[in-house]
Copies of this chain bind each other. A is one copy, B any other.
Amino acid sequence: MMDERFGLDRKVRLLGPVPLDSGGSFAPVEIAYETYGTLNEDADNAILVCHALTGDQYCASTHPMTGKPGWWARMVGPGKPVDTDRFCVICANVLGSCMGSSGPASEDPATAVAYGMDFPVITLADMVRAQELLIGHLGIERLHAVIGGSMGGMQTLTWASLFPQRVARAVVIASAARHSAQNIAFHEVGRQAIMADPKWRGGAYYHESDPPTAGLSVARMAAHITYLSEAGLTEKFGRRLQDRTDKSFGFDADFQVESYLRHQGLSFTGRFDANSYLYITRAMDYFDLADAHDGRLAGAFDGTKTRFCLVSFDSDWLYPTAESRRIVHALNGAGADVSFVELSSPFGHDAFLLDNPELDRVVSGFIGASA
């Protein structure tokens, strides 16, 4: 008989509650997720993949709204670095997001309308606590690995810190243990762009036909620049004009890079919720793993048995190598088993999503190695 807990496009309502960093708790919590591959009898071959800010549970299957391949289809699948012939891979939409897990667009059972800004402000730790409920629900005691890039890496670090006994291996890619002032600043620009859009309506736009797409689009454009390197942008677009041989001397998208950015902004609004963008960026800005340990990052990992693998990219200026190094130093200070590599790529932060044979080798080697 099929176990309905496993497979594509799953959704579960868990009683929880999820204790929240802001105080109080959240319950019940809905979690939308997918699994790939088969959990073995010992339930010790599960790998949790954590997604980034605007990612979702569709890491290895076709996205239902865009029709595009999953965001990490090149990394997760049969025979891929995260091999679903061998591992049972789980990917869950984070708390606060908009692809089926509880978030500001969800209906508040107390009022029978969407939460909007009445959704509680959450943290990375809250997201991870919700995922931990899911892992328990799936009957998994200990994850073979937790793995993620960007905000996925922050969740991975948080998993290892909060639930060290449940995480055998942690793979943290292009990430950081805290949000820097510059990281916060870019997110704040995005939030202000959304909240400045009159169609945002204080977050209560779900019953209207016109959500704040203009503001969300500007937020996405600003963020998108931070995902790419200056050199990558120059290589990809330079100063080339879009479908024309001369400047138009107007305010159309004369340059390819303008056209590209506008497209990124607009297409994003078709698949993402503006309030979720506010909530998740806020969670990231609040993220500083050392906070709960008197500012001593090593304190987040004291006595850990989890084995860590850190990867950074040399052209990533959003979460630069120095942030990964800081984590490595803390892990060393905590006596943890850690390997670290800085990979070369011209593609900036986005490199973790792109073809990179070296990244593949690092990931498959690390998760395949026996503990």
Contacts and interface: CB of A to CB of B under 8 A. Distances in A.
Given A239-B288, A249-B121, A233 B192 contact: no
A314 B241 CA distance: 30
A233 B191 contact: no
B192 A265 contact: yes
A35 interface: no
Contacts of A180: 230, 233-234, 239
A192 B261 CA distance: 10
Interface string A190-225: 011101111000000000000000110110011001
A25 to B, nearest CB: 14
A192 to B, nearest CB: 5
A67 interface: no
A247 B181 contact: no
Given A189-B261, A261-B188, A255 B197 contact: no
Contacts of A317: 230, 317
A350 interface: no
Chain copies in the assembled complex: 2
Interface stretch (A137-145, A278-286, A324-332): A278-286
Interface of A, helix, strand, loop or mixed by DSSP: helix
Contacts of A197: 196
Interface string A151-182: 00000000000000000000000000011111
Contact of A249 (B22, B182, B191, B215): B22
Q: Ordered nearest first, which 7 A-B pairs have the shortest CB separation?
A: A196-B214, A22-B249, A181-B233, A121-B249, A181-B257, A181-B237, A182-B230
Given A218-B218, A317-B317, 6 more contacts: A121-B251, A181-B238, A181-B239, A188-B221, A188-B255, A192-B217
